[in-house]
Structure 1
Amino acid sequence: MTVTPARHYIGGEWVAGDAAPQDSVNPATLAPVGQFCPGSGALADEAARTARDAFFKSEWSASPRLRAQALFEIADRLAAAKDEIADLVVAENGKIRAEAIGETMGAISETRYYAGLARNIRGTMQETAPGNMSLFNREPAGVAGIIVPWNAPVTLLMRSLAPALAAGCTTVIKPAHQTPLVHARIMEAIVSAPSLPPGIVNSVNENGIAVGQAMTASPDIDVISFTGSSRTGQAIMAAAAPTLKRVGLELGGKAPAVIFEDADLDLAVRELTHGALAMAGQICVAAARFLVHESIADEFEARLTTAFRAVRTGPGDDPASDMGSLIDEPNRARVEALIEQAGDEGEMLLKGERLGKGAFLTPTLFRIDDVASPLVQEELFGPIVSVERFADEAEAVHKANATAYGLAASVFSQNGARAMRASRAIRAGTVWINSHLRLFAEGETGGYGKSGLGRLHGPEGLHDFLETKHIYMEAGWTPQSG
């Protein structure tokens, strides 16, 4: 059963802290789900010191088999709790249950994937001259601070935590204050793994910015792994500079979907309706701009408008719902202001509306011609999508690259050569061809430009948490035992 109020976890113990518990609210009903204990900078500092002691005093960093075993145990315990976790995601995040269970299963897959990689971290050797050998060892970077967003609190935690643990790091986690009960249930599963020593995984709840600021500034934390907005990522980079921390950032996105005149429109409409409106558009790789060839634009717009209108917006625990609520009322009000701006700057094809008592908002689709508009340039992070037209392949690529973001994109065409050309020309960390929103543990993701630094998922997901050490030996020198 989830700890209520949801507490911090430091050095193998649940800690309440001194602050009075606060409510966690269901965005679909606006009713409290439970309570959590807010954290503080002092608790974050304590957690960082604890993690550093564990890094140097335990066998964790030098025991890949122990790390693999612990990660497999964590995956098994997450799997056993998957229904409870998914129910809490629905209650605290507002997304539909199919998305919640899919996210949870993705986190389990991620954990098992890195459990396998934990025993396969290898260095290299080079002989630069006869008898002169350079050994290049891959070693854990130290203490990793993991800052988790609210939009996918299960997957985006394990996407950073699993490779950090596989690499041999110890960790301090800051969950989002909107989803503390989800996080507490995940932590229960993690720390129940019998092979996990105390102090390896520590967690401090947030209610503001104090915990994140303390983690970023702490001299006891060597790496920050952050998923969130580009603005916050810039602040983290600046705050990490005095201690010269390594920073891995997956930040905002403005994913263009390019639909050429020979695209399979049935496929494109199906893929992009889901790709734009999954998690109510509150995902950084969501299809945010539809770039469509002018010869099929009218037909595409009509089909998309019909498909968006058919999306059933409602509570996440209702099987009839296709899309859940936004994370809270302030974010709904923010998106509503963007909808009004879209009506002023472009042509409204479908206007989103409020539904019911919770933070619900139906999809919005609008046409716009001005690529310089903030509606095109900035991440909107909600169920609101623009349609832009192009005349030829060169213009399509130019428009796709017209923002400062470069996290994801998609290309729809039945011409394989053109689809590959466009995919290579678009500056984005991930480009899907004739699909959108395909994410899995084996495939790296990350961004160009304002979309971040580094890569997550896949073998490269380990890189942020590893250092390379060069050990040099000259001919005639023999290591002595003892």
Structure 2
Amino acid sequence: MTLDPALLEPRIRAIGEDLASRSSGMSPGLFDSRWWSQAAINLAMKDPAFKAQLFRFIDVLPSLHDDAQVVRLAEEYFGEMSAHLFGAQWGLKALASTKLGASLSGKAIRHQVEQMATSFIAGASMEQAVPALRKLWEDGRAFSVDLLGEASVSEREADGYRDRCLAALQTLGEACPGWSPAPLLERDHLGPLPRVQLSIKISALYSQLDPIDPESSYRAVAARLRPLLNLAGTLPASVIFDMEQADTKELILSIFMRLFMEEPYRTFPHAGIALQAYRTDTYDDVQRLLAWSRERLVPVTIRLVKGAYWDSDAIRYRQRGWSMPLFEHKAQTDMNYERLVRLLLEQSAVIRPAFGTHNLRSLAVVEAAAEALTLPPNAWEYQMIYGMAEPFQHAMSDRGRRLRLYAPVGELLPGMAYLVRRLLENTSNESFLRKEYVESQPLSLLLSPPEAALPSPPSSMTTAPGASSTVGAVRFVNEPVANFSRDDVRVAMAGAIDQVRKQLGQRLEVSKLNTHLPTGADVRSFNPAQPEQLVGIVQSYLPADVAGLVKVAESHAEEWKHRAVAERVAVMRKAASLMREQRWELAAWEVFEEAKPWREADADVAEAIDFLEYYAGEMEQLDPPPRLGRYPGELNELFWSPRGVTVVIAPWNFPLAIPAGMVAAALVSGNPVLFKPSERASIIGYRLAGILRQAGVPAGVLQYVPGGPDVGRELVIHASVATIAFTGSKDVGLGMVQAAAVQQAGQKFVKRVIAEMGGKNAIIVDDTADLDEAVTGVVQSCTGYAGQKCSACSRVILMDSIHDAFIQRLADAVMSLRIGAAEDPATQVGPVIDGRAQKRIREYLEIGRREGRVVVDRSMEGPGYAVGPVVIAGIEPTHRLAQEEIFGPVLAVMRASSFEQALRLANGTTYALTGGLYSRSPRHIELARQAFDVGNLYINRSTTGALVGRQPFGGHRLSGIGAKAGGEEYLKQFMVARVVSEQTLRRGFAPTL
């Protein structure tokens, strides 16, 4: 039977009115006027800025170590309002001036926030929670225990979560049998129900859970789940998979379906999974689960919720430019929820429906649909959150329905993320509880049906608008990185790797790109993960060939210079389009030539596309020439002309993006280019040059110049070369600056050197930081790209109070990383580029072993030229490990007694490229903004992954000279500015312009 929604409306309204009557006279605890939280929550609902500060303060509070720190942070977040907010009776500002006063006021603040937090938490431990759970049972309400804690950052923590789950099941299994019988809670339409239910976060069971590698993720999660299911089967207990962030949905769903088809779990009778109605694809997921459940022949629970991660998921997807898998409007989610309610109830013969909601209309919809289907009252259950919507809890119990409360158990620290989600729900403009109990909206409005159209699910090719800027007539939007949670994306990448593997070892003919041909030896490129595997061969140029190359460039300079700007711009955009078409193939070549793991290879291609598009747009802005001033009788115009022959000397660590940016900037501004890729990226360099030629760059305007350092030196000093764009080491860069400063015979201009050089980048972690985020961010920043990027974190500076705890968690996280060949999607840390790099890093490790204390040493792990990550503590400012760039996954740990000292340590090198800070102190964040002397400062995020147009990249001091790449000023470095001023007043009149 299929239900007609319109025919249900009269019963929905009648049932809703009945529920409202049953809940009248009660108020949810969060909005109880006796609470401190009521005043704070009311203010948060009126003032979005205060709401952000309040939730951030609540988030940081459990990590603060003493009461004086609590007072200080309260004043940092709330200023003069802090005394009023936390109770003027405590005399907050006056008391804070004394140690005793700080203790009193700090304890008061903690007490007030903890009172709010503990209302949502059943207990700090299972032993403490059992009495609260028993009280629920005696009141006729079942429970589902959720052990607080977000994703694990190491395998040790994942083991700890598994053990806590086992202990929780054991404790409940011993306690619950002695409770009084409750027939409503212990049987449904399909049979008996266990008294014990545990909700599990899959992300906490595997620290490296990643949709890019479903197979490894399944093996790790299943290995930790099987002991839990074995115990649950004997107690008995039901086990429910919570649904988490949007990009893990498909992975969690597949783990669920695969695990419960294993023997003996295929007959496990009390498995369940949560699904989120705010997802556009949940209807299809329910259909999949229904078909699977019929095949399995054992029913499962489907817990339908609206979803608790909308804010964070929406922001992440928009940041990445991915198509949104979520409904944009609350009314759409409500409509989808009601559609899913009807579907689940219609299929209740093969599943156990459970409806998680605190919305009066949603409750009434379930009741009306079940009534229309003539289902017995035990054929479904309601689930609500412990400490929330108490009036509706009472109403459903009073109506004789089975009600289960989602009951978090755990310490306050991991509970803060949970609490903030609850507060976001309750204070949202769309919150039903807010509408009823704060805004007192009329019942007729609260029970009215949602009015919204359900859009079609987004296609695999569409992308959502991300952060953007407007350049010229075209709005620049960053090319989205690949969403490897999508099966079609993983298949495309794997297919490209297979295709490229068949092409390895071929000779690439320079004659297809250049007219002046090389005379040097062959350059052979090998796979760093398999040093015997030949990737490709190109013939190299010799220093003696440079004069001929420059002559060709000069012969094409005038024609390209006078090519219409619109035509040069179109060529760059055509090149970007070609890159999109060849995206997977280009990424696959990087997997083999540079041993880049999948995500890193793909991100390099996306950034290359960004540079082509961004500089094309920037050039459009300079054409036609801008007029300077608007004074009568004169015309002042600013013209930009190309500087002339440009040499681009590119690195191997970003073999497509960095040269694409330098070459595109030079070309689109009208210069002929001699492009010398690194010897270790000659194959990718060839493909970049080929794409630009195919896009319409004439032969001779761009010349591909593979060769060794001697060729680079000859290019730099040639008298006709006007501009040198270089990315690489400090020593080589300074040598270029010195060589370019010498005027050669016949040289008619001062050479311009644009050089991005090295870094000795530091991340400061202070005593207010979210250590989950900080550990993850430091590990990513240090080990991503095998540490082979100038922005990599090579020093972490820790405040005294968190030093030891951070190092332990950092060590565990580093030990949990997967080291391997880049072809394997499971690989997170691949090899370094070649034997020279491997040898140099290992020499530094010997220095580090003498200077400090080795905490983690995985340097001998991995295939080929691998150097696994190493962490060395006890490093002092004068040590070489604190001062010299290593260009590998080696992390020096330093200690600071104050935040000011941490800043001095961070600034205490000759470099100034990138820096990072993990802090939840507004004061520390502001100090870092002012005093952390780097070109790019990253706060509460990793220090790598700068995006074109959003985070223009580049440093100063000995980290580089020139404008930031991917920024507004970069293009102008390749041009000469000319101002033309014309007196337009003639014979007493001037044209109107």
Alignment of 1:144-293 (within 5 A): 144-193=646-695, 195-206=696-707, 208-243=708-743, 244-293=750-799
TM-score with structure 2 setting the length: 0.46
Q: Which residue of structure 2 aligns with residue 390 of structure 1? A: 896
Cα distance between partner residues in 1 of 2:504 and 2:968: 33
Cα distance between partner residues in 2 of 1:376 and 1:230: 16
Q: Is the 8 A contact 2:514 2:704 kept in 1?
A: no
Cα distance between partner residues in 1 of 2:563 and 2:674: 19
Alignment of 1:374-389 (within 5 A): 374-389=880-895
Cα distance between partner residues in 2 of 1:380 and 1:400: 16
SS at match of 1:79: helix
Alignment of 1:94-105 (within 5 A): 94-105=595-606
SS at match of 1:355: coil
Please tell me the root mean square deviation across aligned C-alpha atoms, in Å: 2.2
SS at match of 1:295: helix
Paired AA for residue 319 in structure 1: P
| Structure 2 unmatched runs, 5+ | 1-502, 744-749
| 1:47 Cα deviation from its structure 2 partner | 2.2
Q: Is the 8 A contact 2:871 2:890 kept in 1?
A: yes
Q: Which residue of structure 2 aligns with residue 459 of structure 1? A: 968
Q: Which residue of structure 1 aligns with residue 619 of structure 2? A: 118
Paired AA for residue 336 in structure 1: R
Cα distance between partner residues in 1 of 2:574 and 2:778: 37
Q: CA distance change for structure 1 residues 3 and 48 in 2, over 3 Å: closer, same or farther?
A: farther
Alignment of 1:71-82 (within 5 A): 71-82=572-583
SS at match of 2:646: strand
More strand by share: 1
Q: Which residue of structure 2 aligns with residue 338 of structure 1? A: 844
SS at match of 2:651: coil
The counterpart of 1:449, out of the listed 957, 972, 993, is: 957
| 1:141 Cα deviation from its structure 2 partner | 1.7
Paired AA for residue 428 in structure 1: V
Q: CA distance change for structure 1 residues 5 and 348 in 2, over 3 Å: closer, same or farther?
A: same
The counterpart of 1:298, out of the listed 804, 812, 826, is: 804
| 1:130 Cα deviation from its structure 2 partner | 6.8
Moved more, 282-291 or 137-146: 137-146
Q: CA distance change for structure 1 residues 296 and 127 in 2, over 3 Å: closer, same or farther?
A: closer
Q: Is the 8 A contact 1:444 1:457 kept in 2?
A: yes
- Percent identity between the two aligned chains: 27
Q: Is the 8 A contact 1:444 1:460 kept in 2?
A: no
Cα distance between partner residues in 1 of 2:699 and 2:914: 38
Moved more, 234-243 or 347-356: 347-356
Q: Which residue of structure 2 aligns with residue 23 of structure 1? A: 524
Q: CA distance change for structure 1 residues 59 and 213 in 2, over 3 Å: closer, same or farther?
A: closer
Paired AA for residue 117 in structure 1: E
Q: Which residue of structure 2 aligns with residue 38 of structure 1? A: 540
Q: CA distance change for structure 1 residues 471 and 9 in 2, over 3 Å: closer, same or farther?
A: farther
Q: Which residue of structure 1 aligns with residue 826 of structure 2? A: 320
Paired AA for residue 360 in structure 1: A
The CA deviation string for residues 58-112 of structure 1, in whole angstroms up to 9 with x for no partner, is 1544511001110011111112222222122111112212211111111112211
Q: Is the 8 A contact 1:39 1:205 kept in 2?
A: yes
Q: Is the 8 A contact 2:787 2:890 kept in 1?
A: yes
The counterpart of 1:47, out of the listed 549, 552, 555, is: 549
Q: Is the 8 A contact 1:8 1:39 kept in 2?
A: no
Q: Which residue of structure 2 aligns with residue 468 of structure 1? A: 977
Q: Which residue of structure 1 aligns with residue 309 of structure 2? A: none
Cα distance between partner residues in 1 of 2:579 and 2:845: 39
Q: Is the 8 A contact 2:831 2:862 kept in 1?
A: no
SS at match of 2:666: helix
Moved more, 32-41 or 122-131: 122-131
The CA deviation string for residues 186-236 of structure 1, in whole angstroms up to 9 with x for no partner, is 22222111x323322111101x21211121011222110000001000110
The CA deviation string for residues 262-307 of structure 1, in whole angstroms up to 9 with x for no partner, is 0111111111211111110000000111011111011111111111
Relative contact order (C-alpha < 8 Å, sep 6+): which is higher? 1
Question: 2:965 matched to 1:438?
Answer: no
| 1:185 Cα deviation from its structure 2 partner | 1.8
The CA deviation string for residues 384-418 of structure 1, in whole angstroms up to 9 with x for no partner, is 01111112121111111100000110111112342
| 1:129 Cα deviation from its structure 2 partner | 8.4
Question: 2:609 matched to 1:108?
Answer: yes
Q: Is the 8 A contact 2:505 2:535 kept in 1?
A: no
Paired AA for residue 25 in structure 1: F
| 1:342 Cα deviation from its structure 2 partner | 0.8
The CA deviation string for residues 146-180 of structure 1, in whole angstroms up to 9 with x for no partner, is 10011111111112112222222221100000111
Q: Is the 8 A contact 1:61 1:140 kept in 2?
A: no
SS at match of 2:812: helix
Q: CA distance change for structure 1 residues 9 and 286 in 2, over 3 Å: closer, same or farther?
A: farther
Cα distance between partner residues in 2 of 1:127 and 1:283: 44
Q: Is the 8 A contact 1:7 1:205 kept in 2?
A: no
Moved more, 134-143 or 288-297: 134-143
Q: CA distance change for structure 1 residues 81 and 304 in 2, over 3 Å: closer, same or farther?
A: same
Cα distance between partner residues in 1 of 2:650 and 2:952: 18
Q: Which residue of structure 2 aligns with residue 361 of structure 1? A: 867
The CA deviation string for residues 305-336 of structure 1, in whole angstroms up to 9 with x for no partner, is 11111111110001111110011112112111
Q: Which residue of structure 2 aligns with residue 142 of structure 1? A: 644
Q: CA distance change for structure 1 residues 289 and 9 in 2, over 3 Å: closer, same or farther?
A: farther
| 1:132 Cα deviation from its structure 2 partner | 5.1
Who wins on radius of gyration, i.e. which is larger?
Answer: 2
| 1:426 Cα deviation from its structure 2 partner | 1.1
Paired AA for residue 651 in structure 2: P
Q: Which residue of structure 2 aligns with residue 311 of structure 1? A: 817
Q: CA distance change for structure 1 residues 251 and 100 in 2, over 3 Å: closer, same or farther?
A: same
Q: Is the 8 A contact 1:47 1:203 kept in 2?
A: no
Cα distance between partner residues in 1 of 2:566 and 2:879: 53
Cα distance between partner residues in 1 of 2:610 and 2:505: 25
Q: Which residue of structure 1 aligns with residue 588 of structure 2? A: 87
Cα distance between partner residues in 2 of 1:471 and 1:251: 36
Paired AA for residue 39 in structure 1: Y
| 1:461 Cα deviation from its structure 2 partner | 1.6
How many residues are paired up?
A: 475
Q: CA distance change for structure 1 residues 15 and 26 in 2, over 3 Å: closer, same or farther?
A: farther
Q: Is the 8 A contact 1:55 1:169 kept in 2?
A: yes
| 1:44 Cα deviation from its structure 2 partner | 2.7
Moved more, 24-33 or 315-324: 24-33
| Structure 1 unmatched runs, 5+ | none
| 1:15 Cα deviation from its structure 2 partner | 5.7
Q: Is the 8 A contact 1:411 1:423 kept in 2?
A: no
Q: Is the 8 A contact 2:726 2:754 kept in 1?
A: yes
Cα distance between partner residues in 2 of 1:62 and 1:18: 32
Q: Is the 8 A contact 1:224 1:245 kept in 2?
A: yes
Q: Is the 8 A contact 2:918 2:939 kept in 1?
A: yes
SS at match of 2:596: coil
Cα distance between partner residues in 2 of 1:121 and 1:468: 11
The CA deviation string for residues 1-36 of structure 1, in whole angstroms up to 9 with x for no partner, is 7994234469x5366522232421111111122212
Q: CA distance change for structure 1 residues 240 and 263 in 2, over 3 Å: closer, same or farther?
A: same
Cα distance between partner residues in 2 of 1:256 and 1:61: 46
Cα distance between partner residues in 1 of 2:699 and 2:959: 35
